[in-house]
Amino acid sequence: MKVLVTGGAGYIGSITVKKFQEQGTEVVVFDNLSKGHNEAIDCPLVVGDLQNREEISKALAGAGFEAVMHFAASTMVDESVKDPKKHFNNNVCTTFNLLDAMLEHNVKKFIYSSSSEVYGEAERLPLLEEMTLKPLNPYGLSKAMIEWSLPWYDSGYGLKFIALRYFNAAGAMLDGSMGEDHRPEMHLIPTAIRSALGLCDFKLTCAKMDTPDGTTIRDYTHVLDLASAHILALEALAQGHQSDIFNVGVGKGYSTLEVVKKVQEITGVEFSVGKGEPRKGEPAAKYCSNEKLRRELGWEPKYGLEEMIESAYLWHKNHPEGYETK
């Protein structure tokens, strides 16, 4: 199978591309490199922008793609509250451009990177795929808008999709060769690790929550386990699986303070924990049931929180400035 991967030079995309290549799948990356890195991929790269429908159409034309895997998006919750227009343009308008170009070139298999943010505040835990979506921020709404639209592309045009609702990607390649390189870095685990390495100060940015220790609770998933979910999803579509939506998480929640303490334990550094500006639009607690993904696609998470932190620590220790090129 030949696959076009949008946003494939970014964190999750590049590692998924690497795992696809290891199993012999032909991959082409489409990325504007605003967040991605040339050095993270070793495959054909089309530098283009999903805002430009003609660039997408040109990339798909006559290339023999059988599927598209869509990672490209703006992803920061707090930013989406401050600048909702950016997230609706980058996450909604661009996805419709991509879907329309796929139909134009008869590419009818689509793997979509969605988010646990579509749920909003949990009505109960663990979160199940059939629960009502009530996003609390523009980022979550942008992902829900595409989820709500995809079944109509299926019924109207025969475009088959699987949407994967991520629960906090973390970790790196186990040998530390590839990892997370956001500029600026805002995610909890890499920020805590970089603080342990003396590369930045660490500040808690969650508001006081109604949880046991007063901090947010989240479900973390190793990036390698996320990559395997994408591979299984595409294999399922190729074998005739119906369009569907799946949670991708380990099914256990950790509080922000628990994660910070685990980073301190693994790195052996008791870095100071300051207080930053609370982020807006954050639900108190989120963790999922992954039973549907296990049952229908045979997915099994291999790595826990320790492996996420250990692999990320190795990556950041060996690459304190991240990738060399942009």
Going by the DSSP 8-state scheme, the letter that residue 134 receives in this structure is B
Compute the radius of gyration of the chain from its Cα atoms.
19
Say how many residues make up the chain.
326
Pick the catalytic residue: 11, 112, 119, 139?
Answer: 139
Q: Is 220 a catalytic residue?
A: no
Helix boundaries (H) for 170-217: 188-196
Contact 199, 77 (CB under 8 A): no
The closest of 60, 59, 28 to 44, measured between CA atoms, is 28
Contact 101, 56 (CB under 8 A): yes
Query: Angle 190-192-195 (CA atoms, 0-180°, nearest 5)?
Result: 105
Q: Can you read off the two tokens belonging to residue 79?
A: 């930013």
Spell out where 1-144 has E strands: 2-6, 26-31, 45-47, 67-70, 109-115
Bridge partners of 114?
165
Helices and strands in the chain: count of H runs, count of E runs: 11, 14
Amino acid at 253: G
- Helix axis angle, 256-267 to 188-196, nearest 10°: 30
Q: Can you read off the two tokens belonging to residue 165?
A: 């609702």
Give dist(CA 248, CA 219) in Å, integer: 9
Bridge partners of 275?
204
Residues designated catalytic: 139
